[in-house]
Amino acid sequence: MKPLRILLVEDDALIAMVLGELLTAMGHEVCDTASTQAGAVASASHHRPDMMIVDGGLRQGSGIGAVDEILLSGPLPYVFVSGDTGQIKARRPEAAVLRKPFRLADLSGAINTAFAGVAA
């Protein structure tokens, strides 16, 4: 897979840092990190990422809400990461979802699944 520009939406600074390091080690670039729903929407508009990695629950707003707003501008692959995947699967059953904690191989597979879903 070619290197991607990824928008990371995560409100826990430590998890955002670790995810950013994992994505960089995979050869991708984190074009921005947002910690709120509004910040994610603004960042997606400004940076035009190739895909998004999104925490389902944010302290300010919702990762699901952010994805809903961002997708109004057109298709964009995304992967949800969450400690509670039930609510995400209930609202977006087609979404690629990773339960925290996860392995690097799981992240790579979820990215591939997200791209396959957009291409379908």
- Kindly give the confidence (pLDDT) of every residue in the chain, 120 residues in length, as a single tens digit, with 9 standing for 90 and above: 789 999 999 999 999 999 999 999 999 999 999 999 999 999 999 999 999 999 998 989 999 999 999 999 999 999 999 988 888 988 888 899 999 888 889 999 999 999 887 655
**How many domains does the chain divide into?**
1
2 inside domain: no
Q: What does the alpha-carbon distance between residue 99 and residue 20 come to, in Å, rounded to a whole number?
A: 17
Report the 10 Å Cβ neighbour count for 112.
14
Distances (CA, A) of 30 to 9, 12, 20, 45, 91: 10, 16, 6, 15, 26
What's the predicted TM-score (pTM) here? 0.92
6 domain-assigned: no
Domain membership of residue 91 as a residue range: 11-119
Q: What are phi and psi of 93, to 5 degrees?
A: -60, -25
Q: What is the pLDDT of residue 115?
A: 84
Using alpha carbons, select from 83, 26, 75, 85 the residue that is nearest to residue 52.
75
Q: Cβ neighbours of residue 12 under 8 Å, at least 6 residues apart? A: 55
For residue 63, what is the domain's CATH number?
3.40.50.2300
Domain assignment of residue 54, yes or no: yes
Other CB atoms within 10 A of residue 79 CB: 23
Q: What is the 3-state secondary structure (H, E, C) of 57-105?
A: ECCECEHHHHHHHHHCCCCCCEEEEECCCHHHHHHCCCCEEEECCCCHH
Give a yes or no: residue 4 inside a domain.
Answer: no
- Position 3 in a domain: no
Which phi and psi (to 5°) does residue 31 adopt? Answer: -75, -25
- Domain assignment present for residue 90? The answer is yes
In a domain, 103, yes or no: yes
The whole-number pLDDT of residue 84 equals: 84
